[in-house]
């Protein structure tokens, strides 16, 4: 019986030799509906063992790209301290010329990630795939939480684009940050590095039900793959995947979907150019 610590599929490179670095942040502090995102990094790693490392879509193999799994950050400190830990680790990884893939956890972790990435590269734009706008200035008395995270990120980054939003509180529907998928090539600035934040509730809950705040409608799996394809001409410095709630999908399909999307994103965005489709 193996005693190897749980890690993501094919993430067997030492940090120094890795091109992509996986980091778990099992934060569950400001959820307001369904719980479970603290279980998500482990569930995604476990689910990754059920799929292949080769991407036929992008003709690349995770095992040949060079992936390291650093395990999880401690989620039990104060929210501010957890976000500073994410900021510090993401900044360190990006400065080393590697791409961080952060597994949440609730969406609030994106704030720490973009702070760290922007500090490392100077200027940054954020592309968020999300069913909700997450643009409130505060929610239930909190200025930093899952419902305000993109507002706080907007205060940090040079540009914010949200695709997939279909749930609004009403005060933000006319803001210019919302875009359709087919507009991405025009709306993203080719001169600025990109951070990608993928909230799984952007997908149709009929396909990915195990999320904290499901919203009817949403992307198909292949539409998300299309977004990865649209991002290939841009310099994507890292990504996070958040809001998986494993207890709400006993079938495990949502965790498998999350793991597969991580694999496809890595193969699409960080495989050596000679191996790209």
Considering the entire predicted model, what is its pTM?
Answer: 0.96
Contact status, residue 147 vs residue 32, Cβ threshold 8 Å: yes
pLDDT over 70 for what percent of the chain?
96
- Report pLDDT digits (tens) over 10-41: 999 999 999 999 999 999 999 989 999 999 99
Contact 88, 95 (CB under 8 A): no
pLDDT at 272: 83
Range 15-275 has CATH code 3.90.1640.30: no
How do residues 110-167 score in pLDDT, each as one tens digit?
A: 999 999 999 999 999 999 999 999 999 999 999 999 999 999 999 999 999 999 999 9
The strand pair at 178-179 and 159-163 is best described as parallel
Is residue 275's pLDDT more than 50? no
pLDDT grade for 171, boundaries at 50, 70 and 90 = confident
For residue 225, CA distances in Å to 63, 198, 254 come to 20, 12, 16
Segment 169-185 shows an average pLDDT of 93
First-to-final CA distance of the chain? 38
At 216-240, the pLDDT tens digits run 999 999 999 999 999 999 999 999 9
How far, in Å, CA of 129 to CA of 88, rounded?
24
């Amino acid at each position: 019986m193996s005693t190897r610590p749980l890690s993501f599929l094919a993430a067997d490179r030492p940090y120094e030799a890795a091109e992509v670095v996986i980091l778990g942040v099992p934060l569950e502090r400001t959820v307001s509906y369904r719980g479970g995102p603290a279980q998500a990094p482990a569930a995604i790693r476990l689910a990754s063992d059920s799929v292949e490392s080769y991407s036929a879509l992008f003709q690349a193999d995770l095992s040949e790209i060079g992936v390291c799994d650093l395990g999880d950050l401690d989620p039990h400190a104060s929210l501010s301290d957890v976000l500073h830990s994410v900021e510090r680790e993401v900044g360190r990884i990006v400065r080393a010329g590697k791409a961080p893939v952060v597994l949440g956890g609730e969406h609030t972790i994106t704030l720490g990630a973009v702070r760290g990435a922007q500090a490392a590269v100077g200027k940054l734009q954020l592309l968020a795939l999300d069913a909700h706008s997450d643009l409130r200035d505060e929610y239930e008395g909190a200025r930093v939480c899952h419902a305000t995270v993109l507002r706080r990120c907007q205060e940090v980054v040079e540009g914010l684009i949200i695709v997939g939003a279909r749930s609004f509180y009403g005060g933000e529907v006319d803001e210019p940050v919302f875009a359709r998928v087919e507009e991405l090539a025009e709306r993203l600035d080719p001169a600025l590095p990109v951070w990608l934040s993928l909230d799984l509730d952007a997908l149709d809950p009929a396909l990915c039900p195990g999320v904290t705040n499901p919203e009817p409608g949403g992307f198909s799996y292949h539409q998300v793959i299309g977004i990865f394809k649209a991002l290939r001409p841009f310099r994507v410095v890292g990504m996070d995947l958040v809001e998986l709630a494993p207890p709400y999908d006993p079938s495990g399909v949502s965790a498998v979907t999350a793991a597969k999307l991580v694999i496809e994103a890595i193969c699409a965005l960080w495989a050596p150019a000679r191996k790209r489709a």
